[in-house]
Each structure stands twice: as structure tokens, then as C-alpha cells.
Amino acid sequence: MESLVVLEAEVLGHFKNLPITNTLLASWIAMFILAVVSILATRKVQLIPSGLQSLFEIIVDFGYTTVEDLAGSKKAKAFFPIVMTFFLFILFSNWLGLMPGFATIKFEGEHFLRSMNSDLNMTLGLALTSAALTHAFAIYYLGIFGYLKKWFALNPVFLFVGLLELVGEVTKVLSLSLRLFGNIFAGEVALLAVSSIFAFVAPLPFYFLEIIVGFVQAAVFAMLTLVFMVLLSEKHAQEH
């Protein structure tokens, strides 16, 4: 039996320079579904909510209060959409990856669809976006000098600390991306392994587990992004 799982996402085709992988396709589907659902939810916004609107109101309200608690009401307006989008995007794509059809339908010898976050490209892309936005906010809130002061100082001790923190920034990106990738990829492998042993009923507990993991990882990614943003855009506690 050939290797059960491949780390690399399978390429379905090319659009000019862009390789269309099955994970990229899955991310587009997740985006599409999210967009459609959100348009449906807010098509007729009512003061007395019902149906989809009330569900999303609960989610948005909870997300907004969480961001507000951590970041303060001023920065919450800027941070909230990003944090919430990370959460919803990752959550939807994780759960979408559990749908039937993923990793089963083949297209020209390759899997047609594959859970988005089981490809390091996708998670690394999200983590880099998160880091880029975080630093952009830091520059916006602190000014370019205040931002640079975080990393570089004339005091040799602080210079060293700053350099360490700079390395820490790289680690943040790696940990964010690898955590998400590892969890979802491992889940895929576990599901595949159990399904190949006995495809009926046996994978069910693992599916439940994956539902929870998918939610938790989305929440972790979003919360960490929020915390990084808050920390980085805060002024240094002691300034000389």
C-alpha cells in the first residue's frame, strides 16, 4: 500500500503561475459558503432578530465583547473584523473538511478536495497574514519610531532582549501555522486510518473529536492573533 497520506497538497491544475491545489479549492468553497451565509443572514436585518440573523448576532456579539475586553473599545473596532474573520474562516474550513466528499472524490488521479488546513501553505499563509496585520497595527498605533523602539535600543541589554523578541515574532508565525496544520492534518490522518480499518461507525467518535478540534483550533488561532495584536500595539510599560 502506498503512503496513506501526503504532506504536500495535490495540485489539480495551473492557472498561469498559480497552482490550483485541492486545499486552495477547499478554501474557496469555504469562503463562498461563508459569504453566502453571511449575506443570507443580513439580507433583511431586523431589530427583532430571527433565524440565521440571531445565530450570527450571538457569534458576532460574543466575539466583539471578547475583543473589547482585551483590546479596549477603541482598538476593538479595528481588531474585531480580523480576529472574527480568522475564527470564522478557520472554523468553516475545518468543519467543511469533515464533510463527505473530502479526500474521497478523485479528479485526474488526485483527491479533488482536501481540508484546507491540512496544507501548511494555507496555515502559513494565514499566520503570515496575521503577523503582517499585527505589525501593521503596531506601526499604526505606535508610530514608526515607537515600533522600532520595541526591537532596538541603545542599551545593550535591551538590544539583546529586542533581538530575542524579534526571533520570537518568527516563532509566533511558525507556532501559529504549525499548530493549526498539525492538528488538522493529524485529524485527517486519524480519520483516514480508522476508516481504512473499518469504514462504518468506527470513525464516528473521531469525527466528533474533529468537530471539537476544528472549533478549538479556530478559537486558538483567533485568540492568539488578538493577544499578539493587543500586546504589540501597546506602548512599552517603562520608557526612559
Partner 1 sequence: MEILHQFGVNPVLLIAQGVNFIILLFILKMFLYKPLLNVLEERKKRIAESLKNAEEIEKRLQETNEKIDVMIGKAAKEAQKIIDESRKEGVLYLEETKERAGRMAEEVIKKSKEAARAEALKIEQEVMSKMARIVAAGMEKVTGRILNNKTQREIIEKSIKNLS
Output the CA–CA distances (angstroms, integers) from residue 95 to 13, 19, 29, 109, 235, in the order listed.
Answer: 25, 24, 12, 25, 38
Number of Cβ within 10 Å of residue 65's Cβ equals 12
Least CB distance from residue 74 to partner 1, whole Å?
15
Least CB distance from residue 92 to partner 1, whole Å?
10
Q: Give dist(CA 152, CA 158) in Å, integer.
A: 7
Least CB distance from residue 18 to partner 1, whole Å?
6
DSSP 140-171: HHHHHHHHHHHH--SSHHHHHHHHHHHHHHHH
**Closest CB to partner 1 among 78 and 194?**
78
Least CB distance from residue 120 to partner 1, whole Å?
4
C-alpha angle 46-47-53 in degrees, rounded to nearest 5: 50
Number of Cβ within 10 Å of residue 95's Cβ equals 17
**Closest CB to partner 1 among 5 and 204?**
5
Least CB distance from residue 191 to partner 1, whole Å?
20
**Closest CB to partner 1 among 76 and 232?**
76
106-107 and 18-21 strand pairing: unpaired
Tell me, what DSSP letter sits at residue 47?
Answer: S
**Closest CB to partner 1 among 19 and 162?**
19
**Closest CB to partner 1 among 180 and 206?**
180
Residues that bind partner 1 (CB under 8 A): 7-9, 17-19, 21, 24, 27-28, 31, 34-35, 38-39, 41-42, 45-47, 49, 53, 56-57, 60-61, 64, 80-82, 84-86, 88-89, 119-122, 124-126, 128-129, 132
